[in-house]
């Protein structure tokens, strides 16, 4: 650290110069986050100093978090759901599995996740000393139920289904997973980190939330399609027992027990999530999701015109495009300042997320570049 003070203006000017090195969201196809809604930024700013790690000092903010959880629960078919605003999908997944493990009493059990699960589940296996068994996918890239059945045993502490997979935007057959979970009396966790703010606003008839009695917990991230500021994740449990399974005594804080993973945690995230949900309402979210789906259809239409097919017909605003030599194509796109990512083996494809920051014009520019690159490498 410097010895002498630097005037605030100079510090801020240096920060602004540094930020110029970052890339622009306008050309991001690879991220599941977006520019936050302006009201989220204002709310975040208002609650910057709050600490929900010690909620007795900030009862107003704590009440706001409770109300945010209630609204999320209502959206997911269970207004009385319990939970909290976490730092994101990873923390919510960790905590859901931790609760399931604690309740099951299995010290060294296993969990069954689809092969398409987010890598947070690998961290969970390591952190919680659980074997992570990966079930195969079917031809639609949903988890194969017979593979789940073959992996399950007396030591299984939780089943996981994904509602909006990171790479394909696919939804697992959660109803069938729910049947298995009730038959075995096992915790079923649904990772809807991305899909949680998409699926309720699509009329596709899929059942995947708390309306299925066997679903015990859900991850839903306001900092993805909820347009909140980072970090804002959501963890919801159907009942209080799961929350109780996460309790730690706190000794010196205003509340005797804590259920979050982190200690000190900002109330700004909860305020931002709350503000967006109140401001947009269901109609605003329907419109926003509708726009992202329109972008998705525009991309797929244009891709087909240049001879590129998606791996599956998109279920939500995630597209996996089948191109020859995906790593090379991606590298060439990155050279042209398009930020795309790839799905993993054995289904290597270009992975594109159509978030609110994307535009029809930029999709057209992207497709023109993709066409040139493909012509060049063929």
* Residues making contact with ligand PLP (CB under 6 A): 32, 88-90, 93, 118, 120, 162, 166, 191, 193-194, 221, 233
Tell me whether residue 230 or residue 253 sits nearer to ligand PLP (CB atom).
230
CB of 90 to ligand PLP, least distance (A): 3
Find residue 101's DSSP bridge partners.
none
Pairing of strands 215-219, 187-191: parallel
CB of 92 to ligand PLP, least distance (A): 8
CB of 193 to ligand PLP, least distance (A): 3
Tell me whether residue 58 or residue 197 sits nearer to ligand PLP (CB atom).
197
CB of 120 to ligand PLP, least distance (A): 5
Find residue 249's DSSP bridge partners.
257
**Block residue for tokens 């196809």:** 29
The CA distance from 293 to 165, in Å, is 16
Tell me whether residue 163 or residue 178 sits nearer to ligand PLP (CB atom).
163
CB of 373 to ligand PLP, least distance (A): 26
Tell me whether residue 90 or residue 259 sits nearer to ligand PLP (CB atom).
90
Tell me whether residue 224 or residue 332 sits nearer to ligand PLP (CB atom).
224
The CA distance from 246 to 258, in Å, is 8
CB of 250 to ligand PLP, least distance (A): 25
Tell me whether residue 54 or residue 191 sits nearer to ligand PLP (CB atom).
191
CB of 369 to ligand PLP, least distance (A): 25
Strand ranges of the sheet holding 82-86, from the earlier edge strand across to the other edge: 82-86, 233-237, 215-219, 187-191, 156-162, 110-114, 131-135
Burial code of 265-278, b = ≥16 C-beta within 10 A, e = fewer? bbbbbbbbbbbbbe
Tell me whether residue 31 or residue 182 sits nearer to ligand PLP (CB atom).
31
The CA distance from 261 to 50, in Å, is 17
Tell me whether residue 83 or residue 302 sits nearer to ligand PLP (CB atom).
83
CB of 18 to ligand PLP, least distance (A): 23
């Amino acid at each position: 650290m410097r010895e002498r003070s630097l005037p605030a203006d100079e510090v801020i000017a240096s920060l602004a110069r540094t930020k110029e090195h970052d890339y622009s969201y306008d050309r991001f196809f690879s991220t599941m986050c977006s520019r936050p809604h302006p009201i989220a930024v204002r709310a975040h700013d208002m609650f910057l100093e709050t600490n929900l790690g010690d909620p007795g000092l900030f009862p107003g903010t704590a009440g706001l978090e409770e109300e945010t959880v209630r609204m999320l629960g209502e959206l997911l078919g269970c207004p009385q759901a319990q939970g909290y605003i976490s730092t994101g999908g990873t923390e919510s997944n960790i905590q859901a599995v931790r609760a399931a493990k604690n309740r099951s009493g299995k010290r060294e059990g296993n969990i069954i996740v689809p092969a398409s699960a987010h890598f947070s589940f690998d961290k969970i296996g390591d952190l919680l000393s659980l074997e992570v068994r990966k079930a195969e996918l079917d031809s639609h890239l949903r988890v194969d139920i017979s593979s789940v059945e073959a992996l399950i045993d007396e030591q299984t502490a939780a089943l996981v289904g994904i509602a909006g997979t990171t790479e394909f935007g696919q939804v697992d057959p959660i109803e069938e997973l729910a049947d298995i979970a009730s038959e075995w009396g096992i915790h079923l966790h649904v990772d809807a980190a991305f899909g949680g703010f998409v699926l309720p606003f699509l009329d596709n008839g899929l059942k995947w939330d708390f309306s299925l009695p066997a679903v015990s917990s859900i991850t839903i991230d306001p900092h993805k399609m909820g347009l909140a500021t980072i970090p804002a994740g959501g963890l919801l449990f159907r009942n209080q027992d799961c929350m109780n399974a996460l309790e730690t005594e706190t000794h010196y804080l205003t509340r005797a027990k804590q259920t979050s993973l982190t200690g000190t945690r900002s109330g700004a995230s909860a305020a931002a999530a709350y503000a967006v949900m109140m401001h947009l309402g269901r109609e605003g979210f329907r419109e926003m999701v509708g726009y992202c789906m329109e972008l998705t259809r525009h991309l797929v239409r244009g891709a087909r015109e240049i001879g590129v097919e998606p791996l599956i017909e998109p279920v939500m605003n995630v597209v996996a495009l089948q191109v020859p030599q995906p790593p090379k194509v991606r590298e060439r796109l990155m050279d042209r300042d398009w930020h795309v990512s790839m799905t993993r083996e054995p289904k290597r494809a270009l992975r594109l997320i159509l978030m609110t920051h994307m535009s029809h014009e930029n999709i057209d520019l992207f497709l023109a570049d993709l066409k040139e690159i493909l012509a060049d490498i063929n």
